[in-house]
Structure 1
Amino acid sequence: MTDRWTRAEERYRQNAERRYRRDDLDWSEADDYEDDTTVIPRYEDEGYDDAHYEGDEYDDEPPLAPEPPRRSAPQRAERVGRRAAEKPTRGGSRSGGRGQRPKRSRMASRKAAERKRRRRNLFVIAGVFAVLFVGAVGFAGWKFLGKLNGPEDFSGPQGPLAVIQIKSGDTSTQIAQTMADKGVVKSSGAFYEAAVRNTNMNSIQPGYYAIPSHSKGSEAVTALFSKDARVGNVVISEGRQLHDSNDASTNARKDGIYRKIADASCVGTGAAAKCVTYEQLDQAGAGDPVALGVPAWALDRVKAAPDRSRQLEGLIAGGTMDFDPTASPLDILKQLVSLSAQSYEASGLLQSGSANGLSPYDTLIAASLVEREALPQDMSKVARVIVNRLAAKQKLEFDSTVNYTLAQTEVATTDSDRSRQTPWNTYAMVGLPATPISAPSLDAMRAMENPAPGPWLYFVTVDKQGTTLFTDDYKEHLRNIEKARQSGILDSGR
């Protein structure tokens, strides 16, 4: 190792003498020259190869390389001058050197702007989420406090009556909302909390109810089941006529359909009650059939009715119906006519012609005769008598058609009554009356839609228990009439 370093140092000195040889003049003239010879050089063995040092314990040590020569001061000055000459000016080309700086600056500016924009968007989104979070927390707190304090409820005196409708299938929640919408209670929750504690809610019937407005929830529930709460509920017995009539024997008034509707329309009691009157309904019933909801299958015949005040006869069915008592008289009648038409059509009225040979409106007329002439057990036979007589062009001769226009009515009629010429008297004409003569029941409708098979042309009720005899022989019919006279059923009160 010592020999190696000795040889390397010798070679370095020889190279240095050759590289830096100068005469004394040169040294003396370069007073400002900075002597760099004091820097320790980096040695490198020339002619290094693996074969020469093979087996040496230091064969992994890298060879030394000589340090590059130091430049003199004039040489350094010359180099600086060349760099200055090669440096482009500010207005020079951007194709090389420092000319690329502006382009890199714009790209960096765009990236910085993009980062700034993303940070701003993140701040905005974070702000929106913060507002939503605060709102959600506030709403949850408000709901929680509401549960603690209970639903809003009225505390002052009750107001005037409000009419609400309960529809078929309505739940307590839906009824509560209706109450709130109509101003009966301050909030649906006030009613609902009271309703769920009342077992009567399970039996509430669809219809219209008058409840004091501005009621507490508990008061509204109690009022709903009071005896005067139900309004607009009319019960029309089968066979009843539109107008009032009087019994010939007792002179008692038999209320007509218009009277029944007027009574059911009252909201409130005593002097404060608000009702539609009998006279208002009678006037409205003589109006435009289309506006009154007359169905298409009856419209032409209704328009041709000989007495406008009787044009809705039979089109308001017997049974129980609900109507809005706060509506106008015309709208009340329209609601009831529409409900009745639906009921008739559901019974098969529009398809009945194949069994009885009649139009839907004529079937309705005939069913009204069945209603007035027969008990339920005999209706299908009476319907067959009607069909058979119409087919034979034989007068029907029903006392019920004579009584229809009389101020006083009874089962028996006089010869004078039967001789009167009216659009309804079947003793004085062949065929059906001009309009129905009463509100037929669904039993009478079904009987007329599907009459019982048989040859009968005559029938008569022979006692006060309602026994009715049928025959197709006229002489037998006369004998049956005599039985009726003997039982006193045909005695007249006039």
Structure 2
Amino acid sequence: MSKTTSGSMRDRRMEPVYVKRRQRFLAVVIAALILIIGAVIYIGVATSNREATMTDYEGTGNGVVQLVEIPEGSSMSELGPELEERGIVATNGAFQNAAGANPDAGSIQPGFYRLQEEMSAASAVSALLNPDNQVELVDIYGGATLMDVTVVGGNTRPGIYSQIAQVTCTEGSTNCITIEALQSVASTMDPAQLGVPEWAIPAVESRGNDPKRLEGLIMPGQYVVNPSADAQGILTDLITRSAGKLEDSGIVARAEAIDLTPYELLTAASLIEREAPAGDFDKVARVILNRLEEPMRLQFDSTVNYGLSEVEVATTDADREAITPWNTYAMDGLPETPIAAVSMEALQAMENPAEGNWLYFVTIDTDGTTVFNDTFEQHQDDTLRAFDSGVLDSNR
């Protein structure tokens, strides 16, 4: 019995040694497997990435042009997957490498670009940095009008409709948006569908099928126009973006503060754009408000010209007597609609006019010097100075 007991004790002493050896063996095996699996994964990923980054087209494209958009706030590096999917570059990896290697890649501008299919990644990056490949922006200035303006004895100033047509009807364009198409949409589409602010819809609708009824509702600025959109899409985009700017400006509260409706404020500000030289916006705003308060007619030549087929600074007696929806020589109050694109500066001038009792102003020389007066007698004297300087000479 003592032998049996002694053998059992010996077995129990040996068991932990065996277990520990087995555990160490298993640990080594597991660690080895983990290393092997990790190595396989690493090699696979590395190989995949290397293949992706090394796969590239050669040359500058196959001649098939596609339009690519870089939205505002986007970067070139975000384009890679789309360019690969559309067959413009072979792989996103190659494009990312090329963008990273080009020191100018971070200066890419938002807009639409013409790229070809099957371009090398480096060529694609270079093409995106070349302004010749960018679809031209529509650059709308303060005081611009929807329709072209023909100056007597001078040139024709392109209107907003013409500007849109110019950037879409380029050489090789397959989607030329004509002036006629834009005018048709402007005159017939539901204003709400075009993005016109709610407070402007009744005034727009009251103009019937006039293609100028959207005047003033596209604000100055540089706009990226989608060259693949139709006339309705382009106008809706421009008006919607402008409506957002007006809403952000607090135009409803601004108008209420000076006892005008938002549409009347927009209309008054458009007169500033057409009448006031730079630096005098707030003074012309004061003249407008003073005359409305008197009340007395505004008698602005810009409102006379808006209804004419040909314009010049020196309007005629017959022009000033003509009854139109805009002629403030022949009507009380403001014109029925704005007469130009309205900048934020003009809106701010109406909200914060200069202090003064002025009722009259006139530009007296070709440098744009404008004088403001309280009385008609003073105004007459300065108008004679304007005639003497040739500012009011007629080319008719």
For this structure pair, what is the TM-score category when the shorter chain's length is used for normalisation?
A: 0.7 to 0.9
Pair 1:192 & 2:192 matched: no
Q: Which structure carries more relative contact order (alpha carbon 8 Å, separation 6+)?
A: 2
Residue of structure 2 in register with 1:248 after alignment: 152
Q: Which deviates the most, 351-360 or 256-265? A: 351-360
SS for the counterpart of 2:211 is helix
For the Cα contact (< 8 Å) 2:88–2:116, is it kept in 1?
A: yes
CA distance, structure 2, for counterparts of residue 317 and residue 171 of structure 1? 27
Q: Which amino acid aligns with 1:215?
A: M
For the Cα contact (< 8 Å) 2:287–2:359, is it kept in 1?
A: yes
Normalised TM-score (structure 2): 0.85
Residues 386 and 198 (structure 1), Cα distance of their counterparts in 2 relative to 1, 3 Å cut: same
SS for the counterpart of 1:270 is coil
- Identify the match of residue 160 of structure 2 among 250, 253, 257: 257
CA distance, structure 1, for counterparts of residue 271 and residue 208 of structure 2? 18
Following superposition, the deviation at residue 168 of structure 1 comes to 2.9
Following superposition, the deviation at residue 181 of structure 1 comes to 4.3
Residue of structure 1 in register with 2:280 after alignment: 378
Q: How does 1:7-22 map to 2 (within 5 A)?
A: none
Q: Deviations over 1:168-201 (max 9, x none)?
A: 3323431223433444223222211111111111
- Identify the match of residue 460 of structure 1 among 334, 358, 362: 362
CA distance, structure 1, for counterparts of residue 145 and residue 336 of structure 2? 15
SS for the counterpart of 2:68 is strand
Residue of structure 2 in register with 1:279 after alignment: 180
For the Cα contact (< 8 Å) 1:356–1:451, is it kept in 2?
A: no
Residues 136 and 424 (structure 1), Cα distance of their counterparts in 2 relative to 1, 3 Å cut: farther
CA distance, structure 2, for counterparts of residue 246 and residue 142 of structure 1? 69
For the Cα contact (< 8 Å) 1:352–1:450, is it kept in 2?
A: no
Residues 262 and 139 (structure 1), Cα distance of their counterparts in 2 relative to 1, 3 Å cut: farther
CA distance, structure 1, for counterparts of residue 199 and residue 319 of structure 2? 32
Residues 134 and 336 (structure 1), Cα distance of their counterparts in 2 relative to 1, 3 Å cut: farther
Q: Which amino acid aligns with 2:178?
A: T
Q: Which amino acid aligns with 2:121?
A: G
Residue of structure 2 in register with 1:179 after alignment: 83
Residues 275 and 226 (structure 1), Cα distance of their counterparts in 2 relative to 1, 3 Å cut: farther
SS for the counterpart of 1:215 is coil
Q: How does 1:67-146 map to 2 (within 5 A)?
A: 140-146=42-48
For the Cα contact (< 8 Å) 1:389–1:396, is it kept in 2?
A: yes
Residues 387 and 476 (structure 1), Cα distance of their counterparts in 2 relative to 1, 3 Å cut: same
For the Cα contact (< 8 Å) 2:215–2:339, is it kept in 1?
A: yes
- Identify the match of residue 349 of structure 1 among 225, 235, 251: 251
Residue of structure 1 in register with 2:109 after alignment: 205
Following superposition, the deviation at residue 139 of structure 1 comes to 6.0
For the Cα contact (< 8 Å) 1:208–1:230, is it kept in 2?
A: yes
Residue of structure 1 in register with 2:227 after alignment: 325
CA distance, structure 2, for counterparts of residue 201 and residue 230 of structure 1? 15
Residue of structure 2 in register with 1:153 after alignment: 56
For the Cα contact (< 8 Å) 1:355–1:450, is it kept in 2?
A: no
For the Cα contact (< 8 Å) 1:306–1:423, is it kept in 2?
A: no
Q: Which deviates the most, 422-431 or 436-445? A: 436-445
Residue of structure 2 in register with 1:445 after alignment: 347
Q: Which amino acid aligns with 1:253?
A: T
Q: Deviations over 1:267-301 (max 9, x none)?
A: xx634564222221121221221121111121221
Residue of structure 1 in register with 2:322 after alignment: 420
Q: Which deviates the most, 383-392 or 364-373? A: 383-392
CA distance, structure 2, for counterparts of residue 134 and residue 371 of structure 1? 75
Q: How does 1:361-372 map to 2 (within 5 A)?
A: 361-372=263-274
For the Cα contact (< 8 Å) 2:62–2:118, is it kept in 1?
A: yes
CA distance, structure 1, for counterparts of residue 296 and residue 209 of structure 2? 25
CA distance, structure 2, for counterparts of residue 371 and residue 325 of structure 1? 29
CA distance, structure 2, for counterparts of residue 135 and residue 256 of structure 1? 68
Q: Which deviates the most, 417-426 or 339-348? A: 339-348
For the Cα contact (< 8 Å) 2:75–2:106, is it kept in 1?
A: no
CA distance, structure 2, for counterparts of residue 141 and residue 260 of structure 1? 56
Q: Which amino acid aligns with 2:158?
A: D
Following superposition, the deviation at residue 484 of structure 1 comes to 1.2
Q: Which deviates the most, 336-345 or 139-148? A: 139-148
For the Cα contact (< 8 Å) 2:195–2:243, is it kept in 1?
A: no
Residue of structure 2 in register with 1:92 after alignment: none
Q: Which amino acid aligns with 2:315?
A: T
CA distance, structure 1, for counterparts of residue 394 and residue 80 of structure 2? 58
Q: Deviations over 1:12-33 (max 9, x none)?
A: xxxxxxxxxxxxxxxxxxxxxx
Q: Deviations over 1:36-55 (max 9, x none)?
A: xxxxxxxxxxxxxxxxxxxx
SS for the counterpart of 1:308 is coil
CA distance, structure 2, for counterparts of residue 356 and residue 366 of structure 1? 11
CA distance, structure 2, for counterparts of residue 231 and residue 264 of structure 1? 7
Unaligned runs of 5+ in 1: 1-129
Normalised TM-score (structure 1): 0.69
Residues 136 and 299 (structure 1), Cα distance of their counterparts in 2 relative to 1, 3 Å cut: farther
For the Cα contact (< 8 Å) 2:215–2:337, is it kept in 1?
A: yes
Residue of structure 2 in register with 1:469 after alignment: 371
- Identify the match of residue 204 of structure 2 among 285, 291, 302: 302
For the Cα contact (< 8 Å) 2:70–2:76, is it kept in 1?
A: no
CA distance, structure 1, for counterparts of residue 224 and residue 340 of structure 2? 20
Residue of structure 1 in register with 2:14 after alignment: none
Residues 408 and 217 (structure 1), Cα distance of their counterparts in 2 relative to 1, 3 Å cut: same
Q: How does 1:392-403 map to 2 (within 5 A)?
A: 392-403=294-305
SS for the counterpart of 2:132 is coil
Q: Which amino acid aligns with 1:337?
A: I
Q: Deviations over 1:126-148 (max 9, x none)?
A: xxxx9xx9998776544222233
Identity %: 42
